[in-house]
Structure 1
């Protein structure tokens, strides 16, 4: 037997079969079971749920395979009651979402980087009734953090990432038409993009470096003509190729403004030395304007002038170290027509011209008093023995050398222990090798050989009178021993008849 219920009776039956109160959101449909259920047709339950306007987004996700519900297996997606069960009371949470274990990767917004550490309610606020309604675009959450004030659009992920807001993935070289090179790579963005304004930032050097322009605009605004991004001070301007005037030596270190005093590089200046160095010209123009004939860029004072070839006077010894003006008192350096020593050294000629003007005969360039070369042997007084190592000034008390006496006593009078008694012919006994080495032989050079005790007697003991000439002293005993004669002349003057030179005592009568 089959019973057919009218709609009114069916509604009452559903109320009798209802397991419990519905949630607050379904309360208005609690007595209208047909809004969600069709009597005795559970298969249509899912379609009824998805047909409800509140769940249209879920239906769309399941259809397109997107969102959380679109990623569920077909069985769960086809049976909402497996997760969401109603009729459990007004306050029942039919969503049944476990925020601690929920796998966010099953949604369209995977949590990466710093997002993984955030609490759910920071993004899923009360503003949104459903979790799925939370926005997924960066700008939706971070608009208040946008330092660019919307000037760069809403696609934050073009530059930023979830790991760190401050670590950008923005590639300045690829994403703009201004590649960062050299020192620009190390700069903080704010140095060029003031107040976080990125659009309309100037691309010309002068836009940022006007305040650093040491030239005050005199060389124009195209800084890249000379400077490079690698190093502001390392110029890329090729002075040799671009001006035909290579910077060599000290010119390399000279500031541009020293030569370019009238403005930009386009204004040509003279390449002649004299154009810049006229004020430095000690010669007052008398040597012409070709400074490069003598001077070189490495040093103004180091000249390439070859004194030997160009002036026929080679600079040797101490002359090499002299400044030009030490000899050339005239600024034009054309005052010395003759290259003779006396031309410069006349004022210090100690000989006062007595030895002539050929200074080089004795002196040399190594030093005025160093290693003098003078052939003394060709004079009236050859230097032999100790004289050869004696300092000149020991004999030559002044520089008037020709007037120096050559007699021994003229130098050795103070050394004469004979006090002049032996005369002035020192050379008769002494020789230049040593004062104490006598060359006088009494036995051979006189008629009185020194034998016995006479060989030990000092000269003055016998030679008591001053010898102004070659005089013969007495050569008999009585000439010296009269005072010793105890016989008072009684035995005559021939003492040697009894006495001998060995001893005066113990006479032997012969």
Structure 2
């Protein structure tokens, strides 16, 4: 019996030892993954072995070993749905580790801290490859990264005990426990770790707080002052959220404190009108202005530093209608136009009316009561300038006055030239006067000088002989006078029995002497008309031009078909032409009886009138 009991005990011990060995081997090998059905059994067995560890440090070290296993198990599922259950198992084990840290002693923290930071680095490295989780659930992925980074930040700070990490793992830690089963087609969205405040990484945008610089009094705040709901994202940064309870009554309604105040103190405050684009002064200061004040913008007169000194800038205000403000400021009978026509924007005096700027071209509109009796009725500007009435100088051209008679009809002496004054006088003085016949258009000399010429004077225009400077010297220009009929003036000047034709036939217009009769110019082709009494007795009765030229009677050359050197015929025409005319005879030189007898012997009859048939050249023919 005793032997049987011993065998049974040994068997039980052997069975227990074998079971323990199998459990240890099972835990050591860890064949199942988080997404598999038997993984919870494996996980429970792993934690059951904690009974073999007795002090908090060894228990925490064992949990760190399990965490390392879970981290290694994150491999080979990158980009797959299995990322979710595996990262979930890591987070669960991470909470177990942190839970053990609250019981460890300060002396053992150093090694545990170093190991914990190493595991956190491994988690961060593995998560960089988890593309499925990052792309499918980006917000949750970022939250997990923030948690790991926050834990790492606190763990590396040796001033914080590891037990402080326990506060970050409180709450329901169901993160990813309901991870999607790869075989589950429902694709249910997993539940993640509850949100809790995680410190920002050193040097990160959150840690530096550059998006909302913590200066002045803001630098004295803790994170919880603004992020009281344990979240960072979405925290309002408007001044009114915190400072609405300190705004005075009738305060500027912009509600952006930084417009006027700094983060150091409420005072001194300075409102930057330009920075906030405050261009409508009336929107704030409508109640600040005195009675009957300028209704425009404050900036037209004031600067943004103080109300005084004030200077109204008409140009900036676009104030071009002076009457709009100053209609009640002007004296009686004052100029009705704009103030700017005479005054500047600095003061009323000194005043100077700028006629050009005011567009004042009608002098009569203002000065019709200022002129003396019988004064020029035209514009003042014709004589005066805009500075003073004197000195005055009448500008006939500027006044457009071309009709002298309109003003000076009563100024001229008796029997004065009836034309325009400008024909003789200039606009400076009456004397010296010089009649400009051309300017006056005076071409009819008789209209003025008909009573000035001597008796029996040339009846034509004075300009034919005289110039407009003086009567003498005078020079008659027959060409200018168009005087081509010499007889009309000189019929009484010629001697008796003078040529009855035009003087110009022999004389020039300079003098009577050196006369030369131009027969061709006079058209004198009938010599007998003048020279019938000049020829000797028994002279050739034909035209003188048959023998003579117009230079002299001598060197006459008669154009004669019969040789004039025949015998002595050249001496006297009557030798051959005893009866005158063209009839001729040869018997004044030749014996008629001899010629008759000889010609009869040769059988030539009636030869008396036929001499020229055989002797036209005046020669004797032997045959």
TM-score (norm 2): 0.30
The TM-score with structure 1 as length reference comes to 0.35
Relative contact order higher in (CA < 8 Å, ≥ 6 apart) = 1
